[in-house]
Amino acid sequence: MKKLIQTLTETFSPSGYESAIREVIRAEIDGLADEIRVDALGNLIVRKKPTKGKDARRIMIAAHMDEIGLVASHIDDNGFVRFTTIGGVYPQMLMGARVRFYSGLPGIVHTEPLDKPTDTPSVDKMFIDVGAKSRADCPIKVGEVAAFERPFLDLGDRLVAKSMDDRIGCVVAIEALRALKSTPYDVYFVFTTQEEIGTRGAETSAFGIDPHLGFSIDVTAWGDTPGRKNFDMALGKGPAIKIKDGGMLSDPRIVEWMIQTAEKAKIPYQREVLLGGTTDARAMQLVRAGVPVGCISIPCRYVHSPSEMVDINDVQNAVKLVVALLGNPASGL
């Protein structure tokens, strides 16, 4: 699993440019599903048909493929690249960061002089240095996209990489699909596009699938480092079952289904109430006449930074939980 995590996190694919990660995932799930297709927005839709029956309930599981990034907006006379953000990129995470453009060209992010060394620069004061000496010899053009450039780091149980959000959710979906031998449901694993800029891929794919219920697999924030308060979430204590986030209330029936399944299978879990942010589940919930949804979250330190950290045990237990949910019929849903 660690090798798969490394492969997915080191693949360059910010929002709108998911073709590379889609091909990596497609190669991993080849032969594991009954149907595989790509829709107009680039979502990879992977169907696992029910073992018996033709009128099984459709369940959609969404994990987004994209990552946050930057896009060049202006090249100045000295060849420095001005940029804007793709998704929730925090300026304090950018100082000194190394990035790589879609073309493969690397660059370093820095800022104009600050009034005080302790000030946090705004994005409009920052630039990417690609080693150019002038606008004429700058190899970057307006509109080219970049993403963080950081290698995968194995710290034993703790794993660090850029784009754990949400390649780790994709890993859980891939491994669950690999382990799921039979299901009473008509299951659609959807590796979605453009989540970081508004859960767009989940919205369009859910409209096409028209699921009876669904859930997303994504990361959540953390509460177990110095100074973190009022958020009960720790690495290594199990995947989180989301009750609420900044954009979505989970259906109580989905929450209860997940909790009962985890307890019956003796899978450790945490209860999540996230004060801000949301996932693909919000978009799924509002499609057509409405879809009951929930979310399984992987606790992740330093979300939306170049070095996001997860615990391998949480990932493995998330896989077990997804397989247990999909492998057995549930009452009351």
**How far does CA 126 lie from the centroid of its chain?**
26
Using pLDDT thresholds of 50, 70 and 90, give the confidence band for residue 329. confident
Catalytic residues: 195
The CATH number assigned to the domain with range 69-148 reads 2.40.30.40
Cβ neighbors of 109 (< 8 A, separation 6 or more) are 70, 94, 95, 96, 97, 98, 99, 126, 127, 128, 129
The answer to whether residue 332 scores a pLDDT higher than 80 is no
What letter represents residue 156's amino acid? G
Cβ neighbors of 237 (< 8 A, separation 6 or more) are 268, 270, 299, 314
Q: What is the mean pLDDT of residues 102-115?
A: 93
Nearest by Cα to 332 from 259, 257, 249: 257
Contact status, residue 33 vs residue 25, Cβ threshold 8 Å: no
**Rounded mean pLDDT of the chain?**
95
Per-residue pLDDT tens digits for 271-288: 999 999 999 999 999 999
Predicted pLDDT at 50: 93
The answer to whether residue 53 scores a pLDDT higher than 80 is no
**How far does CA 251 lie from the centroid of its chain?**
21
Q: What is the mean pLDDT of residues 204-210?
A: 97
Using pLDDT thresholds of 50, 70 and 90, give the confidence band for residue 168. very high
Looking only at the bridges linking them, the beta strands covering 35-38 and 240-244 are unpaired
Q: Where are the domains of the chain?
A: 2-67+162-327, 69-148
Predicted pLDDT at 333: 74
The answer to whether residue 331 scores a pLDDT higher than 90 is no
Predicted pLDDT at 200: 97
Contact status, residue 81 vs residue 75, Cβ threshold 8 Å: yes
Share of the chain above pLDDT 70, in %: 99
Min mean pLDDT across 78-87, 116-125, 163-172 is at 116-125
Predicted pLDDT at 54: 72
CATH classification number, 2-67+162-327, choose in 3.40.630.10, 3.40.50.720, 3.40.50.10860, 3.90.1150.10: 3.40.630.10
Give the pair of three-digit tokens for residue 28.
């991993």
Min mean pLDDT across 147-161, 224-238, 254-268, 310-324 is at 224-238
Nearest by Cα to 296 from 238, 217, 180: 217
3-state secondary structure the chain: CHHHHHHHHCCCCECCCCHHHHHHHHHHHCCCCCEEEECCCCCEEEEECCCCCCCCCEEEEEEECCECEEEEEEECCCCCEEEEEECCCCHHHCCCCEEEECCCCEEEEEECCCCCCCCCCCHHHEEEECCCCCCCCCCCCCCCEEEECCCCEEECCEEEECCHHHHHHHHHHHHHHHHCCCCCCEEEEEEECCHHHCCHHHHHHHHHHCCCEEEEEEEECCCCCCCCCCCCCCCCCCCEEEEECCCCECCHHHHHHHHHHHHHCCCCCEEEECCCCCCHHHHHHCCCCCCCEEEEEEECECCCCCCEEEEHHHHHHHHHHHHHHHHCCCCCC
Using pLDDT thresholds of 50, 70 and 90, give the confidence band for residue 117. confident
